[in-house]
Amino acid sequence: MQKTQEQQETCEFPGLAGDPAEVDKWVSKIAKKFEARSQYLIPILQFIQAEAGFLAPDAMRAASQYLKVPASKVYGVASFYAQFYFEPRGKNTVTICRGTACHVRGSARLVDELSKHLGIDAGGTTQDMLITMETVACVGACALAPLVVINGSAHGRQTPTSLKKLADGIRGGSKPIAPKAVPVKDTETKPRPVKKVSKKKTVPKGTAKSAVKKKAVKKKAVKKKAVKKKAKRKPVKKIAKKTKTARKLRRKR
C-alpha cells in the first residue's frame, strides 16, 4: 500500500513514537501561541522546552504535525542547536569550565571529584533530578579560574571541597551562594604608582643643553668681531668713478 503525501512528508523515526492524546494536547498548546508557519519552528521548539524542560518526543511530533514539516526536519533543527535538550534536565545546572586557564588551574580534578560525589558523568543528571552537571569551554572569566557556573551565577577559584559544598547546598534546598568578590592579586591589574615630576628643571653643567648655550655665545662673539672688522675698512673712493663718468659725458658732447 502506498503512503499518502502527508505520511511521506511527516516521516517517522525512532524515539518519536508517542501517545496521540499527548500529541493533540501539545498541538492545541502550540496553536494558541503560534501561527502554522514553518518559520516559527525554532520559537515553537523554545516554547516546548520552556514548558517541558526538554524537547519531549510527543511535543516534537506535535510541532511537525502543526507546521506540516517532516519530523526529520524538526529533529534536524533541534539537534543542530546546543540550546535544545532531548532528555529531562535537573532543576539546577552546574557547569564546570574546562577552558585552558581553568584546565591549568585544576578544572579536570573538579569534574572528577564532582562526578564521584554525585554519581554522574558530565552531561548527566542526578536521580533526584536536582543537579545536571555539564562542562563548557571558557566562560570568559579566566581570571577567576577554575570557574564553576551554577544556575547562571559564577563561582570563581573553586576547589573540589568548595564545589562539593556548593553541590550539597543545592541538594539540601539552599540556594546557590552568590559569587563573592574575589580580590585580584595580579600585579598587572594594580594601578602603577605615578611618578612625581618637578616642574622646574635645572640643567646640570656639562649636559647637552649647557653645551648648546656655550655654542650660541661663541657665535655671537664671532659675529660681533666680523661687524667691527667691517667698520674698520676704509670707505671706497667714489671720486674716481665720478671723474670717469664726467669724462664720458664730455666726450659725448
Query: Residue number with the shortest CB distance to ligand FES?
Result: 99
Single-letter code of the amino acid located at 128? D
Neighbours of 250 (CB within 10 A): 8
Of 29, 141, 160, 164, the one binding ligand FES (CB under 6 A) is 141
Q: How far is the CB of 112 from ligand FES (least distance, A)?
A: 17
Q: How far is the CB of 136 from ligand FES (least distance, A)?
A: 8
Contact status: 145 vs ligand FES (CB under 6 A): yes
Contact status: 99 vs ligand FES (CB under 6 A): yes
User: How far is the C-alpha of 96 from the C-alpha of 163, rounded, in Å?
Assistant: 10
Given the complex with ligand FES, which of 74 and 139 has the nearer CB atom? 139
Given the complex with ligand FES, which of 29 and 103 has the nearer CB atom? 103
Strands 92-97 and 131-136: parallel
Contact status: 48 vs ligand FES (CB under 6 A): no
- Spell 187-208 as b/e; 16+ CB within 10 A means b: eeeeeeeeeeeeeeeeeeeeee
**Residue whose C-alpha cell is 579560574:** 145
**Piece in contact with ligand FES (CB under 6 A), picked from 44-52, 100-108, 199-207, 245-253:** 100-108
Contact status: 97 vs ligand FES (CB under 6 A): yes
> 3-class SS at 91?
coil
Contact status: 108 vs ligand FES (CB under 6 A): no
- For residue 95, give the nearest of 155, 35, 136 by alpha carbon: 136
**Phi, psi values for residue 135, rounded to 5°:** -120, 160
Contact status: 23 vs ligand FES (CB under 6 A): no
Binding site for ligand FES (CB under 6 A): 97, 99-102, 138-142, 145, 147
